[in-house]
Structure 1
Amino acid sequence: MAGEKVLVIDDSVEILRNMKELVLGPNGYSFVGARDGQEGLRKAVAENPDLIVMDFQMPKMTGLEVLDALQERQSDIPVILMTFHGSEEIAVQAFRLGVKDYIIKPFEVEVMLAAIDRALTERRLRAERERLTKKVLQINKQLEHRITELNVLYTVGQSVTSLLNLEELLNRIVEAAVFVTGAEEGALLLVDKDTGELYLRAARNLGEKLARGFRLKVEHSIAGQVVKTGKPILQSTQDEEMLKVKTGYLVKSLVNVPLKAKGKVIGVLAVDNKVSSKPFTGNDVYLLSALADYAAIAIENARLYKDTGDKADQLDTLLQIAQSTTSQLDLEAVLQMIVDSAVTKLGAGVATLYLYDPTRDEFPAPVTAGQIDHPEEMIAPTKDSVVYRMLRQEGLYLAHDVQHDEVMARGFTQREKIKSSAGFSLRVRGEPVGAMFINYRRPHRFTEGEKNIFTLFAQSAAIAIQNAQLYQKVSERLETASAMAWAGTAASLWAHEVQQNTFTICTDVATLRSRIPDSGIQEILDRIETTASALAEVVPSLPSRDVEEAVTLARVLKDVRKKRDKELQERNVRLQSNLETLPRVWANRQWLVEAFDGLTKNALRAMPGGGDLSFTGKVVGNKVLIDVIDSGKGFPEQLRNQLYKGRVVGPGRGGMGIGLLLVKTILNRYGGDIGLPYSDERGNVFPVQLPLVR
């Protein structure tokens, strides 16, 4: 071990010099020398070296005499004995007196170094053991002290977290803070959410006069620094100096620690000494910080306990809303019920709900409740509107001050003088079904309880909408299926009648041929017979619906154009399309020709005086959307819901709707669909969708 002190006792100057310069010095040992036994004994007692290396024969005292003297003094210094004339008797005597090693002069440097290292090993181990023992005792003492502190803190923490009465809780916290730190005074300050100031909620030993109306500005106080930084402050003064807590309130030492809830500082726990000059320590900061953590949790628990009673009525209201909306299956009624509930049950001034069409990625005009001053401005939203942003919004978007909110400060909120607004998407299993806004015409700060209610309200509203949509779809499919069942029965009868009548026609034509030889009449009979034969072949010529394939839409429309070319020209109808730009769909080509032909015939009936017909498509997701647009007069609003059900649709469009029913059935068979027609600036639109090739 570097720096160990070695006392060398020898009457030889050369031995002393060699030990210092060749053995001890180069190897980091500290050298002390003596020329005789008496001097050596005196230096051994005075210097207390780590090792003694001495000669056997020396003036004034021999090596053995020095050993005897050291033993009398109960010295534990290890000794190496050197001699020119070694003997077994001397060695035995030396070892009996505690010599660690016995070296014959002259000696090699390496031999002496090895002997020194061996002699010091035991002393080194003993010194290390003593050092470790002392350290362990010190640590144990610290642990005992810390355990005592933690037991006190744990006991205080348990009593604090077991209280739910807020007033009693806050006073107990301050009492605990004064107790664990040994302070003279204590206070608990909370942040006022409206003003941002700190106000006194509980105190210990402050005095009623000081405690009454106690408030601190964050910008000009020590406690305010704790709020802003979120870090504790430990301060003390010397002599007659004082620390200013606030005007008229001076102390000699203090500790302020933050109370944090959900990462935010909600207050300050403070203790101080006003009379005593005793400073607080870092351990006091630790203890007070631990207690502050307990206190913050307990305060939040107490607040939640208090809020639970306040929110019980709101949750009961929410349950009523959920029960009423989910028990209704008519879609329009459900949508209106949802916005009405937002106004009547949640206290909104105006509520708006936008139902989303994921197939066409658009919204119709919104459903509203509450007083709207400019209803004429309520139109379908554009792609850059806040409605589309809310559709993509995860969770709630809350605007406490709408007029200064970059998202909500739009045309509607400005026109309707909205002050605060909550926007959110309506989702079921992650898929959006709509977007909704709950608006207030007075300033409104949304509480945590309201946020939870809005979230649950959005979930129940989305489920109610999806249930109503599913019911509507099932009802439509059921009506279509019923109509098709009727149409199928009728078609079987018609097919039988066609076969019977065409057979009769051909028989009658043969009879007429034999009776009327006129060549002009014979030509008429030829045309009749040809037409009858063609009619007889119509029913069995339709393809099987079970064959599915990749179909090119442009080829389908080409077949329809070829089939209807003469009528298109005669009626002066211009047919346009972009289907050649679209990928293939999964269906049956011949049946798809029948469906597109049915839509073409429907358009021709709507445009007796000519016009334009277009098939315009685009790809959205895994579907192809096709708008079949004609420039006809369209369907009257009161008759639109009669389509696809095989019912009489009234004058002006003609027929019983069997053709469009067949079109819908064909499209449904292959995973496609056709929606109810609507009118826009392009004309009368039938929206069609088909699945892309798998």
Structure 2
Amino acid sequence: MAGERILVIDDSKQVISFLAQQVLPTLGYAPLIATTGRKGLEVAARESPDLILLDLNLPDMSGLDLLRNLNQQGGQIPVILMTAYGSEQVAVEAFRLGVRDYLTKPFEAQEVIDAIERALAEPRLRQDRSQLSEELRRANQALQRQVQQIITLSNIGRTITATLDVNQVLEQVMDAAIFLCRAEEATVWLLDEKTKMLMLVAEKGQQQESFVFSRLPMADSLAGEAIRTRRPLQRVAAHDRPPIKIKTGYLVQSVLYLPMMLRDRGIGVLAVAYRTQPHVFTEWEQFLLSTLADYAAIAVENARLYQQTDKALSQRLRELTALNDVARTVNASLDLDRILQHVIEVVQEMFDVESASVWLMDSDRKRLLFAISADVTAAMLYPMELPVGQGIVGYVAQHAQPALSNDVRGDPRFYGQVDVLTGFETRSILAVPLVARQQVIGVIELVNRRSGPFTQDD
């Protein structure tokens, strides 16, 4: 391994020139020089060389004394002892003091090379072992974090897919996203199918004023591109370039968009971002966040379906309650006007309409007579008549089937004279026949639903 620093401590200019200028640089070692024992100790303490080539006889102290000083300082620098004359006793003492090898002057370059390689073999092995231990420690830490992330992701997946509150789902998703990649911000955008805009529905981590916008165009945004390609989309600002512009007033250093896919249909985007410093999202982080986005898509859809079902069940319960109320009134009274008035009031409240009225079939079955209404304006029609077949009400009486129109101005069946008489503006109509003994005896008409268009369920 080239590049180690070797300290030569010798007062011989010839030896220093041979080692420091010829042998060591040629092999890629970095030489350090000291010509006295005191200077050698100073350099050793300051530079911590990888190896010392030490002369036995120095002007101010012996090499053995220098070894003793090194040992007292607690140093573990390997030493090769060099001497022009030696004895067995000196060699024994030198090895006792920790010398790794022993060179007798004069020596050849190859002898020095071999001695250096032998002396550095153990430190190199120790360094390699230390590096491997450090790499193993880091790998274990990374593995432990990945295991913890998987456990966390699994727990979150179970939790959010069992949660039926959309707001709670989104809150948990953002917390998890920030934890999994240590992001500074997390946002969730859901797609509005009608407008093709991505609507900001949840945010976490940024200052309150960070988001000066609440929608992104599907066709011209990075978030929209992630949905279209069905793949994570990452952008990282270069160190010498300006931040990434998400939209005017919102700049980030790094951003990752994860499409929220549901049966090959994109319903939104989970986004995580760094605003203060760039961060390259690893493949592992993208995998974790993509899985989280999939969980989020399922959870959001489950919550939506539950809320829709719950709303539908509540509406159905109200309808059944109202129908039972009407049935009790019918069974408890023989007063037709009272029954019709109660029916109209219940229907008007149930369907949230501006007007509701009843038309009854005349005895000759050619005309419909205005009978009753829950609206004062519509009551002005009394005693108006309509020929069977005229207007939407007449159409229903003629064909004995319901009819609805959410745009009466474009419906050829609509009879506008009623609006002329009352000054009322009809926009939508739902009319159903009243049938008794397989004969139409009248029509119930609902006008202008406030809470939305009429539907077939109505």
Under a length normalisation based on structure 2, what TM-score does the superposition of the two structures give? 0.54
SS at match of 1:219: coil
Query: CA offsets per residue over residues 259-304 of structure 1, 9 Å max, x none?
Result: 134555332124679xxx6568455963543310222355577789
Partners of 2:122 and 2:222 in 1: CA distance: 58
SS at match of 1:296: helix
Query: CA offsets per residue over residues 525-546 of structure 1, 9 Å max, x none?
Result: xxxxxxxxxxxxxxxxxxxxxx
Deviation at 1:86, TM superposition (A): 1.8
Letter in 2 for 1:141: Q
Query: CA offsets per residue over residues 150-192 of structure 1, 9 Å max, x none?
Result: 33222111212335x5xx2574144322354168986543434
Q: Do 1:81 and 1:103's aligned partners in 2 also have CA atoms closer than 8 Å?
A: yes
Partners of 2:35 and 2:246 in 1: CA distance: 72
Q: Do 1:8 and 1:53's aligned partners in 2 also have CA atoms closer than 8 Å?
A: yes
Partners of 1:283 and 1:113 in 2: CA distance: 48
Give the alignment of 1:33-72 within 5 angstroms. Answer: 33-72=33-72
Deviation at 1:100, TM superposition (A): 0.6
Query: CA offsets per residue over residues 429-454 of structure 1, 9 Å max, x none?
Result: xxxxxxxxxxxxxxxxxxxxxxxxxx
Letter in 2 for 1:267: G
Identity of aligned residues (%): 39
Report the counterpart of residue 158 of structure 2 in structure 1.
158
SS at match of 1:266: strand
Report the counterpart of residue 142 of structure 2 in structure 1.
142
Report the counterpart of residue 293 of structure 2 in structure 1.
292
Residue 81 in structure 1 maps to residue 81 in structure 2: yes
User: Structure 1 residues 62, 257: closer, same or farther in 2, change over 3 A?
Assistant: same
Give the alignment of 1:231-380 within 5 angstroms. Answer: 231-233=232-234, 256-262=257-263, 265-270=266-271, 281-282=279-280, 286=286, 287-298=288-299
Q: Do 1:6 and 1:53's aligned partners in 2 also have CA atoms closer than 8 Å?
A: yes
Partners of 1:32 and 1:235 in 2: CA distance: 45
Give the alignment of 1:365-514 within 5 angstroms. Answer: none
Report the counterpart of residue 181 of structure 1 in structure 2.
178
What is the number of residues matched between the two proteins? 294
Partners of 1:288 and 1:281 in 2: CA distance: 15
Answer 1 or 2: higher relative contact order, Cα 8 Å, separation at least 6: 2
User: Structure 1 residues 4, 175: closer, same or farther in 2, change over 3 A?
Assistant: same
Report the counterpart of residue 202 of structure 2 in structure 1.
203
Partners of 2:243 and 2:13 in 1: CA distance: 69
Partners of 1:35 and 1:147 in 2: CA distance: 57
SS at match of 2:268: strand
Deviation at 1:33, TM superposition (A): 2.2
Q: Do 1:190 and 1:267's aligned partners in 2 also have CA atoms closer than 8 Å?
A: yes
Deviation at 1:22, TM superposition (A): 4.1
Report the counterpart of residue 422 of structure 2 in structure 1.
none
Deviation at 1:72, TM superposition (A): 1.0
Q: Do 2:11 and 2:59's aligned partners in 1 also have CA atoms closer than 8 Å?
A: yes
SS at match of 2:219: helix
Q: Do 1:237 and 1:243's aligned partners in 2 also have CA atoms closer than 8 Å?
A: no
Letter in 2 for 1:117: E
Report the counterpart of residue 679 of structure 1 in structure 2.
none
User: Structure 1 residues 24, 186: closer, same or farther in 2, change over 3 A?
Assistant: closer
Partners of 2:16 and 2:56 in 1: CA distance: 14
User: Structure 1 residues 43, 152: closer, same or farther in 2, change over 3 A?
Assistant: same
Deviation at 1:94, TM superposition (A): 0.6
Letter in 1 for 2:132: L
Partners of 2:75 and 2:110 in 1: CA distance: 28
Deviation at 1:219, TM superposition (A): 2.9
Q: Do 1:242 and 1:250's aligned partners in 2 also have CA atoms closer than 8 Å?
A: no
Partners of 2:299 and 2:220 in 1: CA distance: 28
Q: Do 1:82 and 1:104's aligned partners in 2 also have CA atoms closer than 8 Å?
A: yes
Partners of 1:124 and 1:271 in 2: CA distance: 44
Partners of 2:29 and 2:46 in 1: CA distance: 18
Deviation at 1:80, TM superposition (A): 0.8
Deviation at 1:78, TM superposition (A): 0.6
Deviation at 1:104, TM superposition (A): 1.5
User: Structure 1 residues 219, 128: closer, same or farther in 2, change over 3 A?
Assistant: same
Partners of 1:217 and 1:52 in 2: CA distance: 70
Letter in 1 for 2:169: R
User: Structure 1 residues 82, 252: closer, same or farther in 2, change over 3 A?
Assistant: closer
Q: Do 1:152 and 1:180's aligned partners in 2 also have CA atoms closer than 8 Å?
A: no
In our comparison, the structure showing a higher alpha carbon Rg is: 1
SS at match of 2:74: coil
Residue 172 in structure 1 maps to residue 163 in structure 2: no
Partners of 1:187 and 1:47 in 2: CA distance: 52
Report the counterpart of residue 557 of structure 1 in structure 2.
none
Partners of 1:262 and 1:65 in 2: CA distance: 81
Report the counterpart of residue 8 of structure 1 in structure 2.
8
Partners of 1:171 and 1:266 in 2: CA distance: 18
User: Structure 1 residues 228, 162: closer, same or farther in 2, change over 3 A?
Assistant: same
User: Structure 1 residues 56, 185: closer, same or farther in 2, change over 3 A?
Assistant: closer
Deviation at 1:139, TM superposition (A): 3.1
Give the alignment of 1:496-575 within 5 angstroms. Answer: none
User: Structure 1 residues 33, 291: closer, same or farther in 2, change over 3 A?
Assistant: same
Runs of 5+ unmatched residues, structure 1? 309-694
User: Structure 1 residues 298, 78: closer, same or farther in 2, change over 3 A?
Assistant: same
Partners of 2:156 and 2:41 in 1: CA distance: 62
Partners of 2:96 and 2:175 in 1: CA distance: 66
Letter in 2 for 1:203: A
Letter in 2 for 1:289: S
Partners of 1:184 and 1:53 in 2: CA distance: 54
Query: CA offsets per residue over residues 184-230 of structure 1, 9 Å max, x none?
Result: 98654343455543346x53679xxxx9x965421344432433444
Q: Do 2:156 and 2:176's aligned partners in 1 also have CA atoms closer than 8 Å?
A: no
User: Structure 1 residues 223, 74: closer, same or farther in 2, change over 3 A?
Assistant: same
Report the counterpart of residue 100 of structure 2 in structure 1.
100
Q: Do 1:234 and 1:280's aligned partners in 2 also have CA atoms closer than 8 Å?
A: no
Report the counterpart of residue 344 of structure 2 in structure 1.
none
Letter in 2 for 1:181: I
Deviation at 1:51, TM superposition (A): 0.8
Partners of 1:19 and 1:242 in 2: CA distance: 54
Q: Do 1:22 and 1:109's aligned partners in 2 also have CA atoms closer than 8 Å?
A: no
Partners of 2:74 and 2:261 in 1: CA distance: 63
Report the counterpart of residue 444 of structure 1 in structure 2.
none
Letter in 2 for 1:131: Q
Report the counterpart of residue 462 of structure 1 in structure 2.
none
Q: Do 2:101 and 2:119's aligned partners in 1 also have CA atoms closer than 8 Å?
A: yes
Deviation at 1:121, TM superposition (A): 0.7
Q: Do 2:235 and 2:244's aligned partners in 1 also have CA atoms closer than 8 Å?
A: no
Partners of 1:280 and 1:6 in 2: CA distance: 41
Letter in 1 for 2:94: A
Letter in 2 for 1:145: R
Give the alignment of 1:120-139 within 5 angstroms. Answer: 120-139=120-139
SS at match of 1:257: strand
Deviation at 1:12, TM superposition (A): 1.7
SS at match of 1:86: coil
Deviation at 1:87, TM superposition (A): 1.1
Query: CA offsets per residue over residues 625-645 of structure 1, 9 Å max, x none?
Result: xxxxxxxxxxxxxxxxxxxxx
SS at match of 2:130: helix
Query: CA offsets per residue over residues 353-385 of structure 1, 9 Å max, x none?
Result: xxxxxxxxxxxxxxxxxxxxxxxxxxxxxxxxx
Q: Do 1:255 and 1:272's aligned partners in 2 also have CA atoms closer than 8 Å?
A: yes
User: Structure 1 residues 278, 289: closer, same or farther in 2, change over 3 A?
Assistant: farther
Deviation at 1:305, TM superposition (A): 9.5
Q: Do 2:260 and 2:297's aligned partners in 1 also have CA atoms closer than 8 Å?
A: yes
Partners of 2:10 and 2:186 in 1: CA distance: 72
Q: Do 1:187 and 1:269's aligned partners in 2 also have CA atoms closer than 8 Å?
A: yes
Runs of 5+ unmatched residues, structure 2? 310-458
Partners of 2:238 and 2:126 in 1: CA distance: 46
